[in-house]
């Protein structure tokens, strides 16, 4: 009906009347029919999903999340400890058969379904619990990961001084056991501690003021203030969604590469640096006969790529539907591994320098974890000319490495819950505030005198076997219940080409087996000490044949 059509047209248009100047006593008005700003609606009648401003925003966000502190403090040490260059064999093997396929799977899953970690399981509702599991794990990790960033911020503020506070033993927090490295006789003495070690443990954490996890004390105002700054940074990076976080990562994801390059150029000029790098790359293929080496390579791949946290699903859900997620998976996972390898040169150039300077074996100074970046590295920097400048540069790198990984974890929680509970869509800013404030309040337990005990508890149990189990069920849910064939059809619909046979085999058989047979995940906790020694009874033929 033309009349009905015209009526509906008029109703959907806005009439704009503009009063123009008076000419010869007569007022002229002009009218125009203008269309209101269109609301993007998809085929199902729902409001169109927000997308990344630029493709590079997505890539930097994924790289920034995957490349975190563990790339600096974990991989180089594992490589050195497990055969040097030979460690790359199992590392790259597991990267190809499990890491990349799982990474590709999560990117494709999020992009096709355009939902967070819980919402994507509309494809197989019985597995929705897996989605809530990974959201909860990301929330748990935020409780202690933000604390690491606050330590880095504390060190950064402490570096703005003519003499770094971890150089000597004459500070109020030092104990009688404090001894400078100059006293070589004390190196092997377990009762001695360096100024840098005591600064971290007694000057920053104040562990000496707590008797255990049952004696936490009040939050320390210095660390609480740093934690509050971190939380504020996270909130204003996330409150508007990917439109804001996509711009923040231009700094946080690229800065570490600039700083790593600068530190490498400085590190290789130091005496003993080449010896450190040689030790990092020295090849010992006999190590490959040790099952523990393969287990550590598999575990490192699983955790370093960041699968199982719901972050990759959340990030890719904001992609355009036709985005080539296959190419993205190859690029970002490769950059992550290359960054880990590259950071090893930076770390071991300074460790070689420390070994040379104090005339001790490299294994006396080589370590992983927080001890590397908050004790050994600061100690090495303190011996350089212009040490305060180098300290500021180094801790800015740690800050940027941590902040975008924390942003990814938070985004997983926010996107996952907002997509599941649609009523939160219109209140993203308030909900984001609620999440970050809740995280801050719980993290306060980690910045007390006994906070290190709570931190260690969360670090060991928040994202260990639970992540492996979550990714295992996720892989089984997609490959076996939803179906590899349907999943491949979905990918073909998005990018125009079907995944090759290799990817389909990995999704259906290899990756689930890889996750299921990781030793720590299938061994009773009472036998974990045997796994550390490479003794895994589940890896023996007798275990499977005995009746």
The pLDDT assigned to 363 comes to 84
CB contact at 8 A, 73 and 274: no
% of the chain residues with pLDDT over 90: 59
Q: Please, what is the average pLDDT of the chain?
A: 85
The pLDDT assigned to 39 comes to 42
User: Per mean pLDDT, which range of 136-145, 180-189, 206-215, 369-378 is the poorest?
Assistant: 180-189
The pLDDT assigned to 332 comes to 94
pLDDT digits (tens, 9 = 90+) for 137-155: 999 999 999 999 999 999 9
Q: Got the DSSP string for 75-86?
A: HHHHHHHTTGGG
User: Per mean pLDDT, which range of 14-28, 60-74, 142-156, 471-485 is the poorest?
Assistant: 14-28
Contacts of 458 (CB under 8 A, 6+ apart): 140, 141, 143, 144, 446
Q: Enumerate the β-bridge partners of residue 29.
A: 19
Measured between its terminal Cα atoms, the distance across the chain in Å is: 80
Q: Is the pLDDT of residue 531 over 80?
A: no
> Which long-range contacts (C-beta less than 8 Å, at least 24 apart) are formed by 482-489?
482/123, 482/124, 484/508, 487/105, 487/108, 487/109
- Tell me the binding residues for Na(+): 64, 66-67, 71, 304, 336, 401, 404-405
pLDDT band at 324, cuts 50/70/90? Answer: very high
Helices marked H in 27-127: 55-66, 69-73, 75-81, 88-94, 100-113
User: Per mean pLDDT, which range of 138-152, 153-167, 369-383 is the poorest?
Assistant: 369-383
Q: Is the pLDDT of residue 46 over 70?
A: no
User: Per mean pLDDT, which range of 7-21, 90-104, 291-305 is the poorest?
Assistant: 7-21
Q: How far apart are CA 264 and CA 253, in angstroms?
A: 18
Q: Got the DSSP string for 393-430?
A: HHHHHHHHHHHHHHHHHHHHHHHHHHHHSGGGGGGHHH
Structural tokens at position 214: 């049952």
Angle between the N-to-C axes of helices 128-158 and 451-461, in degrees from 0 to 180, rounded to the nearest 10: 140
Largest Cα separation within the chain, whole Å, is 109
Structural tokens at position 242: 């990917």
The pLDDT assigned to 367 comes to 80
Q: How many helices (H) and strands (E) does the chain have?
A: 28, 2
- Tell me the binding residues: 64, 66-67, 71, 304, 336, 401, 404-405
CB contact at 8 A, 113 and 186: no
Q: How far apart are CA 88 and CA 81, in angstroms?
A: 12
Q: How far apart are CA 282 and CA 84, in angstroms?
A: 5
Structural tokens at position 424: 């939160």
pLDDT digits (tens, 9 = 90+) for 295-314: 888 888 888 899 989 999 99
- Average confidence (pLDDT) over 352-358: 90
Question: Tokens 């923040």, residue?
Answer: 248
Evaluate if pTM is beyond 0.95.
Answer: no
The pLDDT assigned to 513 comes to 81
Q: How far apart are CA 332 and CA 257, in angstroms?
A: 14
- Decide which of 340 and 2 is more confident: 340
pLDDT digits (tens, 9 = 90+) for 431-480: 999 999 999 999 999 999 999 999 999 988 888 778 888 898 999 999 99
- For residue 19, the SS3 value is strand
pLDDT digits (tens, 9 = 90+) for 242-293: 989 999 999 999 999 999 999 999 999 999 999 999 999 888 888 888 888 8
% of the chain residues with pLDDT over 70: 84
């Amino acid at each position: 009906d033309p009349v009905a059509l015209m009526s509906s047209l008029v109703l959907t248009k806005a009439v704009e009347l503009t009063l123009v100047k008076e000419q010869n006593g007569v007022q002229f008005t002009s009218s125009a029919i203008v269309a209101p700003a269109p609301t993007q609606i998809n085929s199902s009648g729902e409001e169109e999903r927000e997308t990344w401003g630029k493709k590079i925003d997505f890539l930097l966000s994924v790289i920034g999340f995957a490349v975190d502190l563990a790339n600096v403090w974990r991989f180089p040490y594992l490589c050195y400890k497990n055969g040097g260059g030979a460690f790359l064999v199992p590392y790259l093997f597991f990267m190809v058969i499990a890491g990349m396929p799982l990474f590709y799977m999560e990117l494709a899953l999020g992009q096709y379904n355009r939902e967070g970690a819980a919402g994507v399981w509309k494809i197989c509702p019985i597995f929705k619990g897996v989605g809530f599991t990974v959201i909860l794990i990301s929330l748990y990790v935020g409780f202690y990961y933000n604390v690491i960033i606050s330590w880095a911020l504390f060190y950064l503020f402490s570096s703005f001084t003519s003499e770094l506070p971890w150089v000597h033993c004459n500070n109020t927090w030092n104990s009688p056991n404090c001894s400078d490295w100059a006293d070589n006789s004390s190196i092997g003495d377990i009762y001695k501690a360096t100024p840098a070690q005591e600064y971290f443990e007694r000057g920053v954490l104040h562990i000496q003021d707590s008797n255990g996890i049952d004696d936490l004390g009040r939050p320390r105002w210095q660390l609480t203030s740093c934690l509050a700054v971190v939380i504020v940074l996270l909130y204003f990076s996330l409150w508007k969604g990917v439109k804001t976080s996509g711009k923040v990562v231009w700094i946080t994801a690229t800065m570490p590469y600039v700083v790593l390059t600068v530190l490498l150029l400085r590190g290789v000029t130091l005496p003993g640096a080449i010896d450190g790098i040689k030790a990092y790359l020295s090849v010992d293929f006999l190590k490959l006969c040790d099952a523990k080496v393969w287990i550590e390579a598999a575990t490192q791949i699983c955790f370093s790529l960041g699968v199982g946290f719901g972050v990759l699903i959340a990030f890719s859900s904001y992609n355009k539907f036709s985005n080539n997620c296959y190419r993205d998976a190859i690029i970002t996972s490769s950059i992550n591994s290359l960054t880990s390898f590259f950071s090893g040169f930076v770390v071991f150039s300074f460790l070689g320098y420390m070994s040379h300077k104090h005339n001790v074996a490299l294994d006396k100074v080589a370590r992983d974890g927080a001890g590397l970046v908050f004790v050994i590295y600061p100690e090495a920097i303190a011996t350089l000319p212009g040490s305060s400048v180098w300290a500021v540069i180094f801790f800015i790198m740690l800050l940027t490495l941590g902040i975008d990984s924390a942003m990814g974890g938070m985004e997983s929680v926010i996107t996952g819950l907002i997509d599941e509970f649609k009523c939160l869509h219109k209140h993203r800013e308030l909900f984001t505030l609620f999440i970050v404030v809740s995280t801050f309040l719980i993290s306060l337990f980690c910045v007390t005198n006994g906070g290190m005990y709570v931190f260690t508890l969360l670090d060991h149990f928040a994202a260990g076997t639970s992540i492996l189990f979550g990714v295992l069920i996720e892989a089984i849910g997609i490959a076996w219940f939803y179906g590899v064939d349907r999943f491949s059809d979905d990918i073909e619909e998005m990018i125009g080409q079907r995944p090759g046979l290799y990817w389909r085999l990995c999704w259906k058989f290899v990756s689930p087996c890889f996750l299921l047979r990781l030793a720590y995940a299938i061994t009773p906790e009472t036998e974990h000490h045997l796994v550390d020694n490479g003794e895994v009874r589940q890896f023996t033929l007798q275990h499977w044949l005995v009746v």
